[in-house]
Structure 1
Amino acid sequence: MLRSGFLYRALARFMAVLTAVTGLLVSEAVAQSSPARGIPLIRDAEIEGLLRLYTRPIFKAAGINPKAVKVYIINDPRINAFVAGGQRIFVNTGLLLESDTPNETIGVLAHETGHIAGGHLARMGVEIDSANYTAIIGMLLGLATIAGGIAAGSGEAAQAGQGIMAGSKGLAQRNFLTYARGMEASADQAALKYLNATGQSAKGMITLFEKLARENMVVLASADPYVMSHPMPMDRIANLEQAAKKSPYYNAKDSPALVLRHDLAKAKIIGYSGGPQAVMQRYPSADQSMPARYARAIALFRKGDIKNALPVIDGLTAELPENPYFWELKAQALLENGRAAEAVAPAQKALTLLPKSGLIQILAAQALIDTDKPASAREAVKLLRQAQRSEGETPETFNLLARAYAQTGDIARAELATAESALLRGDRKLAIEKAKSAQSRFKTGSPEWIRASDVLTFAGRS
């Protein structure tokens, strides 16, 4: 009895610990579902604009407000896209690079939209809980059997308890994976529906899945289909193709203008992330297409060869003057090579063509600030305040605001902007110092004084 009592007390302690661990696992799952630190996210007005163009009709077909979904770009060469943290889609640069047509990327985005519209992420949490509870119940039953076996001196009963624990874990895992495969199949069907509703082909989604299947052929050859989170690729492709061919839009093609935008986005990714060697491999000098010249211009200015980069960029702007991103590139190339005064005009031209782009507003503001003229600084402040409406308040925008206010002689606002930047960066000491300095310069109770007070409150919390 004493021994049995000890085991049951141990079992009670195990239940408490297991419950705590289960809570931790669920918390970890929730934490991993939001944009995490350390993920190499990139920002680019052109690529973000292209993804919005791809997703807007799909979202509308799915009954989702396009403004409610945020699409993030991850600097990762692997083909991948996923939904996390509610209505957030993460897209690897590798998906764009390996998509031969816009339709291939659009098909994957339609699939991810199916996950959002189906509420799969929220339901996945329920399934995770369910899988945990199945495992917990099985483990507790197993431990109880072990305890009873030990108390009765039965080694067979103890072994049976261990078998129950192992079996319950396998059952929970398989139940969860079965559910995950069902969600993937559901998202596939939803994607077909959205593509059909928007007059687009599902052929691109199928060819993209075929590429993934080829990439993973060796791994999948010996895989157990029952321990996969996705349907087996060839079965999945066959089912999709059969359904897709019934659509009157199966042979629909992307417009030439959309194909060009897609190819330019790919060229930009290679130009910025690959370096000169990667650019020359992908776009040899004999290739005089617009994407090839775009990639080469980026590679040239990135290595400091502004002399040879500018003629290429000027050729692009002359050929397609309504493209705001060519003007943006010229402004950035000049700005990063210490020619801010020359960067202002192309930045403003880009802004004229795309007036609501927060990222281009910030670029134009930076060019104006770097000219070190009070009149330009006042114009920069207006642009930065506009950018904050779409881009949110970031340390970078507050740093630029601090510089602009300082150039106009508005030291109080410069100090306040510096304090806000420091707070967002986690530099509590500097935030407190600058907020106190700013508060002393503003009238008590004014909006700026209250804002400085808020900074002091947040920075002062332990």
Structure 2
Amino acid sequence: MGLNPDEVEVLLINDPTLNAFALKGRIMGINTGLIEQTTTPNELLGVMAHEAGHIKNRHLLRDGVQNAGMQPFLMSMALGALAVAVGQPGAGAMLMANSQYFGTLGALRYMQSQEGEADVSGARALEAAGESGKGLVDFFENFRSQEVFSDARRYPYFRSHPLSGDRIEALRRPVEAAPHYGHQDSPERLADHALIVAKIHAFMDPPSQTLRDYPASATDFPSRYARAIGYYRDGQTDKAIQGVDALLTEKPNDPYLWELKGQILFEDGRPGDSLSAHQRSVELNPDAPLLRINLAHALIETNDPANLDPAIDQLKRAVAREPDNTMAWRLLSQAYSSQGKEGQARLASAEYWFAAGDTDQATQFALRARPLLDRTSPEWRRAVDIVLASGATDQDIQDLDRRQQRRQGPIIEPPPSTATLPAANRPTT
């Protein structure tokens, strides 16, 4: 298709409605509700290929997003098996945002011609990858029939991606003629997809509903995984740990099971006990920034000064891969402050606000950091870069310097967090 997978950022949106979209900057957004509505991995892969077609053909909703005045605030997440289920086992950590930041996207629409172009591009990409386009046709056909019978079933995805019988038929013909049309999902891929859906239900639905939907009589792996999450979110820590330990006997090298165990212990007020599980998760997947962030958070919360340097090391590794991760910068500021390194702490706070899109606060913290940092250091130069990147004029900088000297105006510290988000993940509240 001409897209480098490493250059496409996938956002998982914490929203039960069926929706997906493409944004400027090679960003693809997928609601958790859309994943739940797919019945096979091939359907999910088809939708992602279609959205990649929009990116390739530059059918982007960016102008509409800017006009709506939205500044997405993203939180990192790795939904363990998703990359495997869609045929990208090497994909990096995904991102998650609360649906409120994308609420107006339902009012935006692609043109019918753009939909056809994205269909063709997606189908070609699937065929080139040795995948069938049948899932995309099936997905569209299923929801087209629902829309015919009920206006109430009009999903946001199909308001922004208008369907028509002619469009589906135009897609069906080349898909059915393609050599890989008969290619089917492997049992392993089907199992991964079932696990993804179970995890989404378990993290998004109330725990009581999860435990009803996945009763003890259901002994398959996804059901037991969902129950462990349900027990964890219901405060039944012992049952949750027992459930995760049983799953680990079957998949001892799953980093997200170890991460989940560490998170359960961490949120039970036992950060020290959670360290070995978090460390194991990082060993198994050292390229996942959020696993390093969770380990760092646990190290910091032990309140052992000896754990601060290891925590800082983990956080530096995380932000090297994810420089926009606000949680990592907040924790880094906290760790440096605990060591009395106020220059580095203020610079980390500046990075926090810069990543969050608040350039005014970022500039103020960068100005506070400068006199506390060695002028020959990379940290001092980064503080200057943040000030310059904010678009501040020389006069603005002088005014801010005078303001800092007089200590006027509120300086807003990064907000505290009671717990990290597990990479497995759980919803924001």
Question: Equivalents in 2 of 1:343, 1:188: separation in Å?
Answer: 46
CA gap 1:420/1:317 in 2 versus in 1, 3 angstroms: same
* Equivalent in the alignment of 2:135: 204
* From 221, 226, 229, the counterpart of 1:295: 226
Is the contact between residue 215 and residue 227 of structure 2 (CA under 8 Å) also seen in structure 1? no
Alignment gaps of 5+ in structure 1: 1-61, 126-176
* Equivalent in the alignment of 1:363: 294
| Residues 1:375 and 2:314 are matched in the alignment | no
CA gap 1:230/1:416 in 2 versus in 1, 3 angstroms: closer
Question: Equivalents in 2 of 1:230, 1:413: separation in Å?
Answer: 47
Instruction: Please give the per-residue CA displacement for 1:26-80, whole angstroms capped at 9, x wherever unaligned.
Output: xxxxxxxxxxxxxxxxxxxxxxxxxxxxxxxxxxxx0111122211111222222
Is the contact between residue 53 and residue 117 of structure 2 (CA under 8 Å) also seen in structure 1? yes
Letter aligned with residue 371 of structure 1: T
- Give, in angstroms, the shift of residue 409 of structure 1: 4.3
Q: Report the secondary structure of 2:113's partner residue.
A: helix
* From 35, 59, 66, the counterpart of 1:96: 35
* Equivalent in the alignment of 1:311: 242
CA gap 1:455/1:319 in 2 versus in 1, 3 angstroms: same
Task: Give TM-score scaled by structure 1 length.
Answer: 0.67
- Give, in angstroms, the shift of residue 423 of structure 1: 5.8
Identity %: 37
CA RMSD of aligned residues (A): 3.2
* Equivalent in the alignment of 2:251: 320
Output aligned runs, 1:420-439, within 5 Å.
420-421=351-352, 426=358, 432=364, 435-436=367-368, 438-439=369-370
Output aligned runs, 1:85-234, within 5 Å.
85-121=24-60, 180-218=111-149, 232-234=163-165
- Give, in angstroms, the shift of residue 440 of structure 1: 4.2
Is the contact between residue 38 and residue 139 of structure 2 (CA under 8 Å) also seen in structure 1? yes
- Give, in angstroms, the shift of residue 452 of structure 1: 4.5
Question: Equivalents in 2 of 1:307, 1:78: separation in Å?
Answer: 33
Question: Equivalents in 1 of 2:120, 2:253: separation in Å?
Answer: 38
| Residues 1:265 and 2:196 are matched in the alignment | yes
Q: Report the secondary structure of 2:15's partner residue.
A: coil
* Equivalent in the alignment of 1:65: 4
Q: Report the secondary structure of 2:60's partner residue.
A: helix
* Equivalent in the alignment of 1:333: 264
| Residues 1:447 and 2:378 are matched in the alignment | yes
CA gap 1:321/1:122 in 2 versus in 1, 3 angstroms: closer
Is the contact between residue 365 and residue 380 of structure 1 (CA under 8 Å) also seen in structure 2? yes
Is the contact between residue 20 and residue 34 of structure 2 (CA under 8 Å) also seen in structure 1? yes
Letter aligned with residue 195 of structure 2: L
| Residues 1:239 and 2:160 are matched in the alignment | no
- Give, in angstroms, the shift of residue 91 of structure 1: 0.6
Question: Equivalents in 1 of 2:227, 2:9: separation in Å?
Answer: 31
- Give, in angstroms, the shift of residue 117 of structure 1: 1.9
Is the contact between residue 8 and residue 26 of structure 2 (CA under 8 Å) also seen in structure 1? yes
- Give, in angstroms, the shift of residue 238 of structure 1: 3.3
Q: Which protein, 1 or 2, shows the higher relative CO under an 8 Å CA cutoff with sep ≥ 6?
A: 2
Alignment gaps of 5+ in structure 2: 65-108, 401-429
Question: Equivalents in 1 of 2:373, 2:63: separation in Å?
Answer: 51
* Equivalent in the alignment of 2:207: 276
Letter aligned with residue 292 of structure 2: Q
Q: Is the deviation greater in 421-430 or in 111-120? A: 421-430
* Equivalent in the alignment of 2:278: 347
* Equivalent in the alignment of 2:21: 82
- Give, in angstroms, the shift of residue 420 of structure 1: 4.1
Pick the structure with more helix per residue: 1
User: How many residue pairs were aligned?
Assistant: 344
CA gap 1:358/1:433 in 2 versus in 1, 3 angstroms: closer
- Give, in angstroms, the shift of residue 264 of structure 1: 1.7
Question: Equivalents in 2 of 1:383, 1:67: separation in Å?
Answer: 22
- Give, in angstroms, the shift of residue 122 of structure 1: 9.1
Q: Report the secondary structure of 1:288's partner residue.
A: coil
- Give, in angstroms, the shift of residue 210 of structure 1: 2.1
Question: Equivalents in 2 of 1:231, 1:94: separation in Å?
Answer: 18
* Equivalent in the alignment of 2:79: none
Larger-Rg structure? 1
Is the contact between residue 300 and residue 307 of structure 2 (CA under 8 Å) also seen in structure 1? yes
Q: Report the secondary structure of 2:111's partner residue.
A: helix
Letter aligned with residue 264 of structure 1: L
